[in-house]
Amino acid sequence: MAKLKKAFFCRSCGYESAKWVGKCPACGEWNTLVEEVVGKESARTTSFAPARGSNRPVPVHEIERQAFTRTDLANGEVNRVLGGGLVQGSIILLGGEPGIGKSTLSLQLALKAAGLKTLYVSGEESPHQIKMRAERIGIVNEACYIYSETNLENIITQITQHGPDLVVIDSIQTIYTETIDSSPGSVSQIRESAALLQKYAKQTGTSIIVIGHITKDGIIAGPKILEHIVDVVLQFEGDNNNIYRILRSIKNRFGATFEIGVFEMRGEGLIEVDNPSEILLSHYDEPLSGIAVGAAVDGARSYLIETQALVSTAAYGTPQRSATGFDSRRLNMLLAVLEKRVGLKMYQKDVFLNFAGGFKISDTGLDMSVIAAILSSYFDRPVDRETCFAGEIGLSGEVRPAPRSEQRIGEAARLGFRRIVVSGYLRKSLPKPPKGIEVVYINKLEELGRIVFGVSGPVE
């Protein structure tokens, strides 16, 4: 007689264990392993007889190339991240923190997709609540249907009857299938529900957007296989206290993963930001110290961002180091380079660093703008307004080339900057700069003071 096969799964990361343990070996969370039924053991032996059917291995040169049919979602930023539009029959996983705007963005896509029949399935909100959000967004689409349900079998029945082109599932953690004897949100329910949706999407050509919750560590909740099942994984990032949001592609089977989309959260919903540089640069009536403009690149998108630094005398024995939107360990490294190579007494100073707009920056090409802002605040002398920076600082104080320097220079020229400071190693490799901008090359960090303050010789 067949016996039930059980296993323990971590509710945080989806780690599978044969026995219960208090601490998950994968993510380190405590008391997250729960017992679930995996399947039934069978005494039948596997047959190795040749399979009969039309499916057979095909040489790669005999496979015909198939062009993906992309659909315009009437949202330029989302189309950019997806690689040009929505691919027919694809399944997309959208993750993000609570309140970041996942449901708002998904509803906007369902309402604005002109010419597409859409079905918005919600397991968290009633149709009346969704209607209120749709009225706030101010978009009316008679081809968009709202359906409040958590049973997957009922959802697939309605999808089959209505035949929509786009389906939104909000969210996968609330959906359950009757084939699995466990509660919604469990590892087995999420895995099985996602697999059934993926199978339906491939067989019928229906595009499906699935919203997923994330853990406190910022990763998508549920088993890791959830991300392997879907075709595209999108991460919606941002600070709830800030109005700007970034849509980032983590996985994309139909395009590249280096594109980002920028949105601004307003009362009427998420508004596309075509030019992030305009919102990340401030305009002051008079020059201020501690401010430098850096040319950044995130994926394939370049923009200019304002770097703000404050250097003050440490009131206590241990100086403070605080970085908002920047790796604090890299900030400590840059301060150590300043102290060693330039001779500044940073061990006596508190240093605070911030980027405009609340953006989180991981681009090493902004090292030079961080150093320039720190030098400006240290000596209380403003940086030239028409100068921006793009370069990585090494431990020996050398200025290394920033990735995609040509693209950074073009963005600075487009926004009217007259000078950009880059690594001297690019002197021979860079083409002729655009008209109206001067490219200044430096090789060592010691040369930066002369460029920042526009004086010859060392800064005193």
Q: Which pLDDT band, with edges at 50, 70 and 90, does 405 fall under?
A: very high
- List, as residue ranges, the binding site for ATP: 96-103
Confidence band, pLDDT 50/70/90 cuts, at residue 9: confident
pLDDT of residue 440: 93
The residue with tokens 């190339």 is 65
Inform me whether the pLDDT recorded for 448 exceeds 80.
yes
Distance CA 136, CA 159 (A): 27
Asked whether residue 75 carries a pLDDT value surpassing 70, the answer given is yes
Instruction: Please tell me which residue, 301 or 425, carries the higher pLDDT value.
Output: 425
Quick one: how far is CA 373 from the chain centroid?
Answer: 27
**pTM score, two decimals?**
0.79
**Position 193 confidence tier, pLDDT thresholds 50, 70, 90:** very high
> pLDDT by residue (tens digit) across 22-70?
998 888 888 888 887 766 554 444 455 555 556 788 898 888 877 778 8
| pLDDT average, residue stretch 404-415 | 92
N residues, the chain: 460
pLDDT in tens, 244-262: 888 999 999 988 887 889 9
Which residue from 192, 189, 186, 194 is spatially nearest to 211, judged by alpha carbons? Answer: 194
Binding residue ranges: 96-103
User: Residue 319 pLDDT > 50, yes or no?
Assistant: yes
265 and 256 Cβ atoms separated by less than 8 Å? no
Helix (H, G, I), strand (E, B) or coil at 128: helix
pLDDT in tens, 429-441: 888 888 889 999 9
